[in-house]
A and B are shown apart, each in its own frame.
Chain A
């Protein structure tokens, strides 16, 4: 283990420079952003992720944000285990009817002010499941949305761009 650790120290870090988000991109992502919440929450955000019926593809890319190359925590953003500790609710999936109640409860358990981020085509538009009678369709039908990150799934760079827009 020592060998691996020492080597890692000398090799330098793997983390890549953050993506540059143009004003146009920002505007497209944060159409409904709650500006008051943004001022109050500042630049360090705790994120609670809820899978509301995704295919798990979105989760894979969200998890990738924490790998050494993207290193989400350097931006002051981190995932937390409880909605009680969270400022941001990150939701994936077309909100299956079976997850609707759990999603609402998780949102209600979070202290205000709070952001809601819809991640992936399913969460934003219902994606390929928009017409399913056993899905609500979009997160927006259930909760007020501050940010949409489309993609199937959005790759980690797209996710980073979205989250960076959230902190201003």
Chain B
């Protein structure tokens, strides 16, 4: 870790504001009266993420969110967790701290942003929602049927995951990383393990790298199939949901029979993978995936030809490509709004560094575009898995981690089904000294708040599902 001065920090913030670099994350660590704030960013077109670290003895640091709004939520989280003040931060309301922790700041009722205007009323929803989904509070300001403003308040699932990871051995910490957001457990363990391996200078054996790729693509497939159905369901078209649910289930069963766990939790471990793929399982996978794709294409045809469904998804929940760019939205949310970025292609990591990948990118920015990006990714994931299976090398599954090495840091970005997950770890004496994991959803929530404006209340579930931001992923 190299510390920088204020001037370099301000220059980096200016790059973010100008748009020549993309904001990745901001987080902090604190011991007693001193703290270090870390800022991660990526120059547009660059193949890696850069981390800048600023020490502060006053528990104050210059706010990034003041100049670049994408950082505001994370700076509010830093304020809650570490008690640091971001000088100039435009919104200093607590974020994760709801006044319920042993170390909470004094509680006041959460001050939602005031909304005024003739005929405007508010609809509070949550944290317990009507469906089987994660908890969060939505405050809708509505004029007639039209949403004029949405404010999301999260933090309900804050478990102190990062805190629990500190001081643990890499294996134990990886299990926690795999429970930051269960739907992305493979992508999270993948990202965290790569960060640890970089810190410890470990090379993952080629077979393990390929198996990681296969798991990551299976995870993407399962989520895309399920969400495709769920989005159609929220548009009042349950037939596709019924079939999408079956396709998802088929993928999970493939995963369970190949790797022993339906969601493939704890299958990726620091140094490699915990389970091997038998020749039998590989054959089953090779035989059944194209079959699933055939069934999927018929659902796509149905989606295309059903006018009532198209009527709901086209133009709904429009995310302005300019905003997507400013926020640095990744994944299908970014790619449906013109942001041509995919960590697998642009930040090249094993096993994708030897595969070619055509990244789908659309400009429409609506629910339909987000669905279509996912459709293209489904086809691609099947192709990638088949290629990885076809070229699977024999060999070791896991490299041994050295113990007792001096402190060193590593970071990694992995493209999860939702978007790019950033992981940063510092290891010291074989343990995890410091860690940060950034979910793509940090940028989806503000994007959703903007995209929902002007839509009718009844379209919120549909728009929300098309973003499918994780709650647990950014509550941590």
Q: Is the CB of B302 within 8 A of A54?
A: no
Q: Is the CB of A60 within 8 A of B263?
A: yes
A60 to B242, CA, bound (A): 15
Known: A94-B159, A99-B135, A135-B160. A128 touches B246 (CB 8 A): no
Q: Is the CB of B130 within 8 A of A54?
A: no
Q: Is the CB of A56 within 8 A of B159?
A: no
Chain A interface mostly:
mixed
Interface residues on A, range: 35 or more
1/0 per residue A98-127: CB within 8 Å of B? 111110001000000000000000000001
B356 within 8 A of A: no
Q: Is the CB of B133 within 8 A of A133?
A: no
Q: Is the CB of A67 within 8 A of B245?
A: yes
Which of A4, A54, A67, A127 is the one whose CB lies under 8 Å from B157?
A54
Q: In chain B, what residue has the closest Cβ to A135? A: B159
Q: Is the CB of B180 within 8 A of A55?
A: yes
Known: A1-B239, A51-B157. A98 touches B263 (CB 8 A): no
Q: In chain A, what residue has the closest Cβ to B295? A: A4
Measured between beta carbons, the chain A residues less than 8 angstroms from B265 are: 57, 152
Which of B98, B242, B471 is the one whose CB lies under 8 Å from A56?
B471
Q: Is the CB of B242 within 8 A of A132?
A: no
Measured between beta carbons, the chain A residues less than 8 angstroms from B134 are: 51, 54, 56, 59
A64 within 8 A of B: yes
Shortest distance from the beta carbon of B316 to any chain A beta carbon, whole Å: 21
Shortest distance from the beta carbon of A76 to any chain B beta carbon, whole Å: 18
Which of B100, B245, B302 is the one whose CB lies under 8 Å from A4?
B302
A149 within 8 A of B: no
1/0 per residue B158-172: CB within 8 Å of A? 111101100000000
A44 within 8 A of B: no
Q: In chain B, what residue has the closest Cβ to A47? A: B132
A153 to B54, CA, bound (A): 40
> By the criterion of a CB under 8 Å from any partner CB, how many residues of chain B are at the interface?
51
A143 to B175, CA, bound (A): 28
Shortest distance from the beta carbon of B240 to any chain A beta carbon, whole Å: 9
B298 within 8 A of A: yes
Q: Is the CB of A55 within 8 A of B182?
A: yes
Q: Is the CB of B248 within 8 A of A133?
A: no
A57 to B181, CA, bound (A): 7
Shortest distance from the beta carbon of A3 to any chain B beta carbon, whole Å: 8
A56 to B441, CA, bound (A): 14
Which of A54, A81, A134 is the one whose CB lies under 8 Å from B182?
A54
Which of B100, B248, B306 is the one whose CB lies under 8 Å from A67?
B248
Q: Is the CB of B133 within 8 A of A131?
A: no
Which of A4, A60, A63 is the one whose CB lies under 8 Å from B239?
A4
A165 within 8 A of B: no
Known: A58-B182, A64-B249, A153-B182. A132 touches B159 (CB 8 A): yes
Shortest distance from the beta carbon of A44 to any chain B beta carbon, whole Å: 19
Q: Is the CB of A54 within 8 A of B306?
A: no
Which of A51, A57, A102, A131 is the one whose CB lies under 8 Å from B179?
A57
A45 within 8 A of B: no
Known: A68-B242, A99-B127. A54 touches B472 (CB 8 A): yes
A152 to B179, CA, bound (A): 10
A41 within 8 A of B: no
Measured between beta carbons, the chain B residues less than 8 angstroms from A56 are: 134, 181-183, 470-472
Q: Is the CB of A55 within 8 A of B179?
A: yes
Considering only residues 28-70 of chain A, those with a C-beta below 8 Å from chain B are 49-64, 66-69
Q: In chain A, what residue has the closest Cβ to B250? A: A69
Known: A98-B100, A152-B265. A128 touches B176 (CB 8 A): yes
Shortest distance from the beta carbon of B261 to any chain A beta carbon, whole Å: 9
The residue among A66, A129, A131, A134 with the most chain B CB atoms within 10 A of its own CB is A134
Measured between beta carbons, the chain B residues less than 8 angstroms from A50 are: 128, 135
A12 to B261, CA, bound (A): 29
A74 within 8 A of B: no
A42 to B360, CA, bound (A): 52
Shortest distance from the beta carbon of B431 to any chain A beta carbon, whole Å: 16
B67 within 8 A of A: no
Q: Is the CB of B164 within 8 A of A128?
A: yes
Which of B159, B175, B256 is the one whose CB lies under 8 Å from A96?
B159
Q: Is the CB of A64 within 8 A of B176?
A: no
Q: Is the CB of A55 within 8 A of B472?
A: yes
Which of A63, A68, A131 is the one whose CB lies under 8 Å from B164?
A131
Shortest distance from the beta carbon of A161 to any chain B beta carbon, whole Å: 16
Measured between beta carbons, the chain A residues less than 8 angstroms from B135 are: 50-53, 99, 102
Q: Is the CB of A61 within 8 A of B130?
A: no
Measured between beta carbons, the chain A residues less than 8 angstroms from B305 are: 1
Shortest distance from the beta carbon of B174 to any chain A beta carbon, whole Å: 11
Shortest distance from the beta carbon of A66 to any chain B beta carbon, whole Å: 7
A93 within 8 A of B: yes
Shortest distance from the beta carbon of B124 to any chain A beta carbon, whole Å: 13
Q: Is the CB of A57 within 8 A of B183?
A: yes
B365 within 8 A of A: no
Q: Is the CB of A98 within 8 A of B158?
A: yes
A81 to B155, CA, bound (A): 22
B262 within 8 A of A: yes
Shortest distance from the beta carbon of B439 to any chain A beta carbon, whole Å: 11
Shortest distance from the beta carbon of A51 to any chain B beta carbon, whole Å: 5
A135 to B159, CA, bound (A): 6
Q: In chain B, what residue has the closest Cβ to A97? A: B100
CB pairs A–B below 8 angstroms (6 shown)? A51-B133, A51-B134, A56-B134, A56-B470, A61-B262, A97-B101
Q: A14-B246, A98-B156, A106-B128 are in contact. List 7 more A-B contacts (CB 8 A).
A: A55-B180, A56-B181, A57-B179, A69-B246, A82-B130, A83-B128, A97-B101
Q: CB within 8 Å of A: which residues of B?
A: 96, 98, 100-103, 127-128, 130-135, 155-161, 163-164, 175-176, 179-183, 185, 226, 239, 242-243, 245-246, 248-249, 252, 256, 262-263, 265, 298, 302, 305-306, 470-472
